[in-house]
Chain A
């Protein structure tokens, strides 16, 4: 419960919320849960509450709004997945395809906003240039997909044949195609006409980390 103190949450309200979560988790059949289960549920509640921006609301209302936010984020993430797949880059490692296809399909099938909203379930083996390490749950998946779309679109802007020349022939190796392309653009002094502000910002940040 230390987290609740750090966040300045009302302990009474949090206890009531946790009673409700535990009751739902056990289907109302048990009066106690194992400590690790309790901590997992508490982590999920804190994750959900964090998604509500209005801290003045009662905790139960913050939780309710957080849940609505998760539902919205799930819808946005599903849409982003469709776009990421539609814009997929061809010159990629095996991990790219595995993450985008089987991995993401499994996520949307198994994600549980009720008991484990904080879990993102996937290891996201295809690491992005600006990987959302700091995020969790559907928030992480959604950010991952939005950033992947930017990387995909950037790759389509590269001069024809560039990626074929620079990606490793062994596709089992894990490499980030966008980073390889960005490095090649910088080294060759290629000029790209980036009109999208989000992409321009992403490229700038990624270039700093090369």
Chain B
């Protein structure tokens, strides 16, 4: 029941209008590669996709990132789809796609410093780590 390659490709190419203002675009060849990788990510995660739109939301959220460059844009999208479906499996069934995507983009641009490996290592919706205040500092405040 998963979406066909051609539908995903069309969705990815249509999303060029969202990424173009940030200097990012997929060629037809790139779109075919990313579509295949996305489909593989869905399969690998053991999920069934019954509705489209994720590719556009992901591109909309990640395009403004200062860490994504045109030369690695397609490969980055492939990895982001992989991470997205891995993370989906760790969330409740009705958890919104959009919320996860926003969280991923925020974490990627923030605490992960643009590292896909760091993003992959995070637990979905995990609160950012903050250092515990030193006991002396606490006393000093009192």
Query: Interface of A with B (CB < 8 Å)?
Result: 1, 15, 18-19, 22-23, 25-27, 29-38
How extensive is the interface on chain B, given as a class?
A: 20 to 34
A207 CB to nearest chain B CB (Å)? 49
Is B50 located at the chain interface by the 8 A CB criterion? Answer: yes
**Which residues in B have their C-beta under 8 angstroms from that of A27?**
94
Count of chain A to chain B residue pairs whose CB atoms are closer than 8 Å in the complex: 62
Interface residues of B, dominant DSSP: loop
Answer whether A34 and B47 are a contact pair too, CB < 8 Å, given A1-B1, A15-B1, A18-B1: yes
Interchain CB contact under 8 A, B94 and A32: no
B50 in complex: contacting residue of A1, A29, A31, A36, CB < 8 Å: A31
Closest CB pairs A-B (n = 5): A29-B96, A38-B48, A22-B50, A31-B51, A32-B49
Provide the residues of chain A in CB contact with B22, threshold 8 Å. Answer: none
Bound-complex Cα distance A26 to B95 (A): 7
State A25–B46 Cα separation when bound (angstroms). 18
Question: Is B79's beta carbon under 8 Å from chain A?
Answer: no
Q: Mark B36-60, 1 if CB is under 8 A from A, else 0.
A: 0000001000111111111000000
